[in-house]
């Protein structure tokens, strides 16, 4: 992918070596001030001024940190070497964290593919990948400095990136949620739904987010839907519908089992010549057995002390 980011190739020096040079210069200045000679004192004062300016050139980085170096508005490269170094003190240094960060997007209300209002939330892991795009393709500086503080810290700058990611995540979540139904309403079909196709939905969400955040030099490492429910105004209705579907499915199984048991009972009675039943008696027996087997409550037995024949 095209990028304008480049590694800093300008002059750099080991920071500890530069500290030793500074100490030597400061010692020389102290000696110059103690001599009392005006030319030497003036030279010492000039050297102290130079040393103070040179102190601005120190660069200290930990693993997965970087600094964007700018020379009077001109991008000179990104410094990624860990440790203590010294560079041109007139280079502006803007520090960025390249470490992974979590973002928990609060559930938002959207309409699914068939128009049902649902609540859907997202959690994702993101990090800065391209420092040039992160610093110069979006207005992170203005967003980070909107709090009115003097100077911009790395924490404020990363919070500005997080705000950008949050807005884009909200938009991507609405787009993906609107392309699928919440569930298949108990129907047997292969259409992907938000409830059933979690892995595919998460993969698509990750792709959509990376497309949106590419311009900002930000990469989404992982995106997962962590909350999914019907909106409160239809939750009760949908719960009753789900309960009705479950009851119907259970009844179908009960009736199927009851019919097979009645069929088996009639065959055994006929095969073993236990009793001879005409069609009317068979119908009455089937009706009674189905009532007993399909009833929600225990049947109350009635003892027939008479005869089967009229």
Q: Average pLDDT of the chain?
A: 82
The number of distinct structural domains making up the chain is: 3
Q: In this structure, are 118 and 71 located in the same domain?
A: no
**Most confident range, picked from 184-193, 216-225, 251-260:** 216-225
Structure tokens at 177: 């949620």
Is residue 301 assigned to a domain?
no
Q: In this structure, are 83 and 148 located in the same domain?
A: no
Is residue 286 assigned to a domain?
yes
Other C-beta atoms within 10 Å of 201: how many? 23
Is residue 2 assigned to a domain?
no
Is residue 231 predicted with pLDDT exceeding 70?
Answer: yes
Query: What is the structure's pLDDT at 237?
Result: 64
**Residue where one domain finishes, among candidates 95, 120, 139:** 95
Query: What is the structure's pLDDT at 130?
Result: 93
Q: Classify strands 74-79 and 83-87 as parallel, antiparallel or unpaired.
A: unpaired
Q: In this structure, are 185 and 254 located in the same domain?
A: no
Is residue 308 predicted with pLDDT exceeding 60?
Answer: no
Read off the pLDDT of residues 43-52 as tens digits, 9 standing for 90 and up.
888 888 988 9
DSSP 10: S
Query: What is the structure's pLDDT at 97?
Result: 92
Side by side, which strands form the sheet with 83-87?
12-14, 83-87, 58-61
Is residue 157 assigned to a domain?
yes
First-to-last alpha carbon distance for the chain, in angstroms, is 93
Is residue 308 assigned to a domain?
no
Is residue 3 assigned to a domain?
no
Q: In this structure, are 46 and 140 located in the same domain?
A: no
Q: pTM score > 0.85 for this model?
A: no
Q: Which domain holds residue 33?
A: 12-95
Query: What is the structure's pLDDT at 101?
Result: 93
Is residue 102 predicted with pLDDT exceeding 90?
Answer: yes
Read off the pLDDT of residues 2-43 as tens digits, 9 standing for 90 and up.
778 999 999 999 999 999 999 998 888 888 888 767 778 888
Q: Could you tell me which of 112, 99, 102, 116 has the C-alpha nearest to residue 224?
A: 102
**Residue where one domain finishes, among candidates 198, 230, 262:** 230
Instruction: Specify which residues 225 forms β-bridges with.
Output: 122
């Amino acid at each position: 992918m095209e990028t304008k980011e480049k590694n800093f190739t300008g002059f750099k020096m080991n920071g500890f070596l530069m500290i030793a040079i500074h100490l030597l210069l400061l010692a020389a200045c102290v000696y110059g001030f103690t001599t009392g000679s005006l030319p030497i004192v003036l030279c010492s004062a000039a050297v102290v001024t130079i040393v103070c300016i040179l102190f601005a050139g120190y660069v200290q980085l930990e693993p997965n940190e970087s600094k964007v170096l700018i020379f009077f508005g001109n991008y000179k490269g990104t410094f990624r070497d860990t440790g203590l170094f010294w560079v041109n003190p007139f280079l502006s240094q803007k520090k960025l964290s390249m470490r992974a960060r979590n973002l928990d997007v609060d559930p938002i209300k959207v309409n699914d593919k068939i128009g049902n209002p649902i609540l859907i939330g997202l959690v994702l892991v993101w990090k800065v990948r391209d420092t040039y795009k992160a610093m110069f393709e979006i207005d992170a500086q203005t967003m980070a400095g909107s709090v009115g503080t003097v100077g911009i810290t790395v924490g404020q700058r990363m919070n500005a990136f997080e705000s950008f990611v949050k807005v884009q995540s909200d938009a991507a979540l609405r787009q993906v949620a609107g392309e699928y139904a919440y569930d298949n309403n108990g129907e047997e079909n292969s259409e992907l739904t938000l409830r059933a196709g979690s892995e595919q939905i998460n993969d698509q969400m990750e792709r959509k987010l990376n497309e949106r955040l590419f311009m900002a030099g930000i990469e989404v490492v992982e995106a997962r839907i962590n909350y999914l429910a019907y909106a409160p105004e239809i939750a009760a209705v949908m719960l009753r519908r789900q309960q009705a579907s479950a009851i119907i499915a259970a009844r179908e199984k009960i009736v199927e089992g009851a019919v097979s048991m009645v069929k088996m009972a009639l065959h055994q009675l006929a095969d073993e010549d236990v009793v001879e039943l005409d069609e009317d008696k068979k119908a009455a027996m089937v009706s009674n057995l189905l009532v007993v087997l399909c009833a929600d409550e225990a049947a109350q037995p009635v003892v027939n002390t008479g005869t089967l024949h009229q």
